[in-house]
């Protein structure tokens, strides 16, 4: 859930950077004090951070998306090394991600540290701490931490985007809409994060209770060893009845808080929404002396709307059919293991999907969905989704998620508008209950007819896509690009960074300073500068860094999706001359303004230019050189030392995780999701254990070469 480079205006970038810097400074101070007491703590934090980062790069299956995603890892890191250290680690991880993957950014680093680092760490840690104090098992406490940590991150990100993208008086409503748009796709991911966090902690305590005690995962007397069947099984003491009641109360409280947030979001989006609702838009436009005129495309005329919905459904269905058939084929023709760099971000399925569903549903849903897609990890690697095709349930779940998104698109406007004037579901239900009702006979295509046309289009499209894929898709999966560097391929990025080029000869301090200035100017200079910067960076990436154009496209894909969504969002929410107007039954028409499209394209140019500049910086300069440059710029040495250690061991842990994953797959290539998830949790726990043990040896190695003199 990164806010992409260039999305936030300069003033908000600064506004978020200041408290973020403060949070990191506090985290470093705490870390320094803890290291003074226990000098080995620094290497422990760095190696555990690297392990969590490595785990977060591993793809895990997402049942509802039919794809794979990545755990954020922030709640786990907060539990393992403490929330303040986790803020520091999150800051480093976000910096590395910005430079290696162009995920997030430098001007949005502050916002991302606050939402992911601060909010994710403290909410996750708080939930875990509370639950453990009340006697919850490690799994349950970890689950709560993962779920609520993630949801809190979405809430914080939505707030940051709402404040940055919407006018001041509409920012809270905007944030609410964004949060609503995040929920349908990100909630399953949050649950996944919960299962992952709880599962890793449980496995860790089972495998090495001494480490669980060392990491203060619970009261020291909570671990007991009971011989059973010749083996030692460790289990955490179960809570008493009172403890269980307390857990229920806690869950209810959290649910109330969440529900309150949801209601707040809904309340924020009800009523008048300046610039979106056509009536209000027209009124505002008229007040400003620019009355709307007849749009170029008006779906209010004739049955055009029916065909728009029908056509859209056919296209969506065809794509789904083609992809699912391809996944089935991949299952039968390859047993490739989905490894690092071969993944799909769950947000990809969710983001654009949510946007599409929102667009079908209505203007507010469209706006919310658009940014939902734009700010999620977006389509980073959705092309690789086929690798997880060996799952029997993919079929049902893909259809389910499509339906869920579709229904959400219908439901969201109703929720957003408050009075269920335009709630299609309700109308459909009423019409279905009374088939002779007037709606069915509506000449314009009443809700039921529209619904039927859309479903028919979906079925038709799916069948066509399925058949076409079988006929023309070939015997091998179409989307087979494992040798290219995906958007999360950290080793590919690193290899590029170490190559000798004209740019690599330039001092990293100079590159960092020039890059920072250019990113700042990019935020304020306007479209011309951004386009020029974008062109220059792309040329440099292709001609000097010599990155393959497909690899570059993959890396730019998230930014392209963000840019497209920003254009759509601005087109829908900015008042001005209507270019396209789509009339929706019982809803105000969706109007796309020319001014909005222009404003959106300006913003998209800023994002694309910023991301390409980050890519250029990251792919032409090794991370140690950049960290060395930061040290020269007086960034605290402890932060740099942690970054260096993380960089050193990240690759080792990635390799170890990959080997363990391969070993697991070789001994069970096609296991059900639950077992696969269990294997993933065990892998995560093993990696944490190895890094815990290694951290002591690394500390010993440092001491033996005079490291204590450096502390």
Partner 1 sequence: MMNSPWGSSRIDGSAVTIARAGFVYPGGVRALDGVDITVRSGDFTAVMGANGGGKSTMLKLLVGLLHPTEGSIAIDDVDVNRETFNQVAATVGYLFQDPNDQLFCPTVAADIAYGPENLGLGDAEVRGRVEWSAKTCGVYELLERPIHALSYGQKKRVALAGVLAMGPRALVLDEPSASLDPMAETALMRLLKGLNERGLTVIMATHDVDLIPLYAHRVILLRGGQVAAEGPLTEVFAEGTALEACDLRLPRIAYLFDIFCDDSTRPLTVGQARKELVRMVEQGRLDLVPILLPKERGGAA
Q: Give CA–CA dist 216/222, Å, rounded.
A: 11
Contact 342, 488 (CB under 8 A): no
| Residue placing its CB nearer to partner 1 in the complex, 498 or 549 | 498
The distance of closest approach from Cβ of residue 367 to partner 1 in the complex, given in angstroms and rounded to an integer, is 44
| Residue placing its CB nearer to partner 1 in the complex, 322 or 653 | 653
Contact 60, 51 (CB under 8 A): no
Selected from 160, 277, 282, 494, the binder of partner 1 by CB under 8 A is: 494
What H or E segment, with its residue span, contains residue 202? helix 171-207
The distance of closest approach from Cβ of residue 708 to partner 1 in the complex, given in angstroms and rounded to an integer, is 7
Sheet of strand 578-584, all strands in order from the earlier edge strand to the far edge: 297-298, 578-584, 587-593
Going by C-beta distance under 8 Å and a sequence separation of 6 or more, which residues neighbour residue 472? none
| Residue placing its CB nearer to partner 1 in the complex, 19 or 707 | 707
* Residue 651 engages partner 1 in binding (rule: CB under 8 A): yes
Half-sphere exposure of 387 (CA within 13 A, CB side): 22
| Residue placing its CB nearer to partner 1 in the complex, 64 or 645 | 645
Looking only at the bridges linking them, the beta strands covering 297-298 and 578-584 are parallel
| Residue placing its CB nearer to partner 1 in the complex, 261 or 707 | 707
Selected from 9, 585, 636, 707, the binder of partner 1 by CB under 8 A is: 707
* Residue 505 engages partner 1 in binding (rule: CB under 8 A): no
Contact 94, 120 (CB under 8 A): no
Contact 363, 434 (CB under 8 A): no
Q: Give CA–CA dist 48/535, Å, rounded.
A: 40
| Residue placing its CB nearer to partner 1 in the complex, 538 or 619 | 619
Selected from 3, 23, 43, 569, the binder of partner 1 by CB under 8 A is: 43
Q: Give CA–CA dist 345/338, Å, rounded.
A: 13
| Residue placing its CB nearer to partner 1 in the complex, 296 or 498 | 498
Question: What is the x/- site pattern for partner 1, positions 438-477, by CB under 8 A?
Answer: ----------------------------------------
| Residue placing its CB nearer to partner 1 in the complex, 434 or 708 | 708
CA separation (Å) from 378 to 100, 203, 549? 16, 31, 20
The distance of closest approach from Cβ of residue 253 to partner 1 in the complex, given in angstroms and rounded to an integer, is 42
Site for partner 1 in 686-705 (CB under 8 A): 694, 697-698, 700-705
* Residue 131 engages partner 1 in binding (rule: CB under 8 A): no
Question: What is the x/- site pattern for partner 1, positions 629-648, by CB under 8 A?
Answer: ---------------xx-xx
- Residue whose entry in the numeric block shows the structure tokens 């020039």: 514
The distance of closest approach from Cβ of residue 627 to partner 1 in the complex, given in angstroms and rounded to an integer, is 8
CA separation (Å) from 694 to 205, 209, 662, 685, 689? 18, 17, 22, 14, 8
Site for partner 1 in 52-111 (CB under 8 A): none
Phi, psi for residue 671 in degrees, rounded to 5: -105, 155
| Residue placing its CB nearer to partner 1 in the complex, 634 or 710 | 710
The distance of closest approach from Cβ of residue 508 to partner 1 in the complex, given in angstroms and rounded to an integer, is 13
* Residue 489 engages partner 1 in binding (rule: CB under 8 A): no
Q: Give CA–CA dist 376/6, Å, rounded.
A: 15
Phi, psi for residue 223 in degrees, rounded to 5: -100, 130
| Residue placing its CB nearer to partner 1 in the complex, 377 or 494 | 494
Contact 345, 70 (CB under 8 A): yes
Question: What is the x/- site pattern for partner 1, positions 584-623, by CB under 8 A?
Answer: --------------------------------------xx
The distance of closest approach from Cβ of residue 697 to partner 1 in the complex, given in angstroms and rounded to an integer, is 4
The distance of closest approach from Cβ of residue 324 to partner 1 in the complex, given in angstroms and rounded to an integer, is 38
The distance of closest approach from Cβ of residue 53 to partner 1 in the complex, given in angstroms and rounded to an integer, is 14
Q: Give CA–CA dist 156/139, Å, rounded.
A: 25
Estimate the crossing angle of helix 83-100 against helix 623-632, to 10 degrees.
Answer: 120
What's the longest Cα–Cα distance across the chain? 87
The distance of closest approach from Cβ of residue 210 to partner 1 in the complex, given in angstroms and rounded to an integer, is 9
The distance of closest approach from Cβ of residue 642 to partner 1 in the complex, given in angstroms and rounded to an integer, is 12
The distance of closest approach from Cβ of residue 621 to partner 1 in the complex, given in angstroms and rounded to an integer, is 13
Going by the DSSP 8-state scheme, the letter that residue 234 receives in this structure is E
The distance of closest approach from Cβ of residue 482 to partner 1 in the complex, given in angstroms and rounded to an integer, is 20
Estimate the crossing angle of helix 83-100 against helix 10-37, to 10 degrees.
Answer: 130
Provide the total of helices (H) and of strands (E) in the chain, helices listed first. Answer: 26, 7
- Total chain residues near partner 1 (CB under 8 A): 27
| Residue placing its CB nearer to partner 1 in the complex, 520 or 622 | 622
Q: Give CA–CA dist 433/558, Å, rounded.
A: 44
The distance of closest approach from Cβ of residue 339 to partner 1 in the complex, given in angstroms and rounded to an integer, is 17
Rg (CA), the chain: 26
Selected from 482, 652, 671, 678, the binder of partner 1 by CB under 8 A is: 652
Selected from 228, 471, 667, 709, the binder of partner 1 by CB under 8 A is: 709
Torsion, CA 458, CA 460, CA 463, CA 464, rounded to 10:
-110
Site for partner 1 in 164-203 (CB under 8 A): none
Half-sphere exposure of 89 (CA within 13 A, CB side): 35
* Residue 498 engages partner 1 in binding (rule: CB under 8 A): yes
| Residue placing its CB nearer to partner 1 in the complex, 498 or 633 | 498
Q: Give CA–CA dist 109/162, Å, rounded.
A: 17
| Residue placing its CB nearer to partner 1 in the complex, 125 or 647 | 647
Query: Which residues on neighbouring strands pair with residue 584, listed in sequence order?
Result: 587
The distance of closest approach from Cβ of residue 569 to partner 1 in the complex, given in angstroms and rounded to an integer, is 41
| Residue placing its CB nearer to partner 1 in the complex, 571 or 628 | 628
* Residue 35 engages partner 1 in binding (rule: CB under 8 A): no
| Residue placing its CB nearer to partner 1 in the complex, 264 or 651 | 651
- Residue whose entry in the numeric block shows the structure tokens 């019982």: 586
Q: Give CA–CA dist 438/528, Å, rounded.
A: 54
Phi, psi for residue 583 in degrees, rounded to 5: -85, 135
* Residue 624 engages partner 1 in binding (rule: CB under 8 A): yes
> What residues make contact with partner 1 under the rule CB under 8 A?
43, 494, 498, 622-624, 644-645, 647-649, 651-652, 694, 697-698, 700-710
């Amino acid at each position: 859930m990164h806010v992409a480079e260039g999305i936030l205006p300069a003033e908000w970038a600064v506004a978020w950077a200041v408290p973020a810097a403060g949070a990191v400074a506090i985290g470093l101070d705490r870390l320094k004090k803890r290291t003074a007491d226990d000098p080995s703590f620094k290497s422990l934090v760095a190696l555990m951070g690297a392990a969590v980062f490595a785990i977060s790069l591993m793809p895990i299956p997402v049942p509802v998306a039919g794809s794979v995603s990545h755990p954020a890892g922030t709640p786990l890191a907060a539990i393992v090394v403490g929330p303040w250290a986790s803020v520091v680690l999150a800051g480093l991880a976000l910096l590395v991600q910005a430079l290696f993957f162009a995920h997030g950014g430098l001007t949005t680093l502050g916002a991302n540290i606050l939402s992911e680092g601060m909010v994710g760490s403290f909410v996750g840690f708080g939930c875990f701490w509370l639950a453990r104090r009340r006697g919850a098992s490690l799994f349950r406490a970890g689950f709560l931490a993962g779920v609520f940590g993630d949801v809190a991150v979405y809430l914080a990100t939505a707030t940051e985007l709402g404040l940055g993208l919407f006018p001041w008086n509409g920012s809270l409503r905007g944030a609410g809409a964004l949060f609503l748009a995040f929920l349908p796709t990100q909630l399953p991911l949050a649950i996944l994060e919960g299962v992952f966090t709880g599962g890793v902690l449980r496995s860790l305590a089972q495998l090495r209770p001494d480490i669980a005690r060392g990491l203060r995962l619970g009261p020291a007397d909570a671990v007991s060893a009971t011989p059973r069947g010749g083996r030692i099984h460790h289990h955490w003491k179960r809570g008493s009845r009172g403890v269980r009641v307390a857990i229920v109360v806690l869950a209810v409280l959290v649910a109330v808080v969440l529900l309150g947030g949801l209601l707040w979001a809904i309340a924020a989006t009800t009523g008048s929404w300046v610039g979106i609702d056509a009536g209000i838009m027209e009124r505002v436009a008229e007040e400003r002396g620019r009355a709307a005129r007849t749009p170029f495309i008006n779906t209010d005329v004739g049955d055009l709307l029916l065909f728009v919905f029908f056509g859209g459904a056919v296209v969506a269905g065809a794509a789904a059919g083609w992809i699912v058939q391809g996944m089935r084929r991949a299952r039968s023709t390859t047993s490739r293991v989905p490894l690092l760099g071969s993944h799909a971000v769950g947000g990809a399925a969710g983001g654009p999907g949510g946007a599409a569903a929102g667009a079908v549903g209505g203007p507010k849903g469209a706006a919310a969905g658009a940014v939902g897609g734009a700010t999620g990890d977006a389509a980073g690697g959705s092309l690789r989704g086929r690798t997880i095709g060996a799952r029997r349930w993919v079929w049902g779940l893909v259809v389910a998620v499509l339906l869920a998104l579709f229904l959400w698109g219908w439901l969201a406007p109703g929720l957003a508008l408050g009075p269920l004037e335009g709630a299609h579901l309700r109308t459909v239900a009423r019409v279905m209950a009374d088939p002779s009702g007037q709606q069915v006979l509506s000449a314009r295509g009443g809700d039921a007819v529209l619904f039927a046309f859309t479903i028919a289009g979906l079925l038709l499209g799916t069948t066509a896509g399925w058949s076409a894929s079988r006929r023309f898709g070939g015997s091998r999966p179409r989307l087979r690009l494992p040798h290219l560097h995906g958007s999360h391929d950290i080793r590919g990025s690193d290899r590029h960074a170490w190559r000798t080029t004209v740019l690599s000869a330039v001092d990293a301090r100079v590159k960092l300073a020039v890059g920072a200035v250019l990113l700042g100017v990019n935020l304020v200079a306007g479209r011309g500068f951004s386009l020029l910067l974008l062109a220059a960076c792309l040329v440099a990436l292709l001609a000097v860094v010599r990155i393959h154009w497909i690899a570059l496209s993959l890396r730019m894909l998230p930014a392209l999706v963000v840019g497209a969504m920003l254009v759509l969002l601005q087109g829908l929410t900015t008042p001005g001359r209507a270019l396209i107007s789509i009339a929706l039954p019982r809803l105000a028409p969706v109007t796309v303004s020319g001014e909005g499209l222009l404003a959106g394209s300006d913003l998209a140019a800023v994002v694309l230019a910023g991301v390409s500049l980050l890519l250029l910086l990251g792919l032409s300069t090794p991370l140690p050189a950049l960290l060395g440059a930061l040290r020269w710029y007086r960034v605290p040495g402890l932060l740099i030392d942690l970054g260096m250690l993380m960089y050193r061991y990240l690759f080792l842990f990635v390799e170890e995780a990959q080997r363990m994953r391969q070993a697991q797959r070789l001994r069970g290539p096609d296991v059900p999701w639950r077992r696969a998830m269990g294997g993933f949790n065990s892998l995560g726990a093993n990696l944490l254990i190895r890094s815990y043990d290694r951290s002591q040896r690394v500390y010993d190695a440092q001491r033996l070469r005079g490291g204590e003199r450096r502390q």
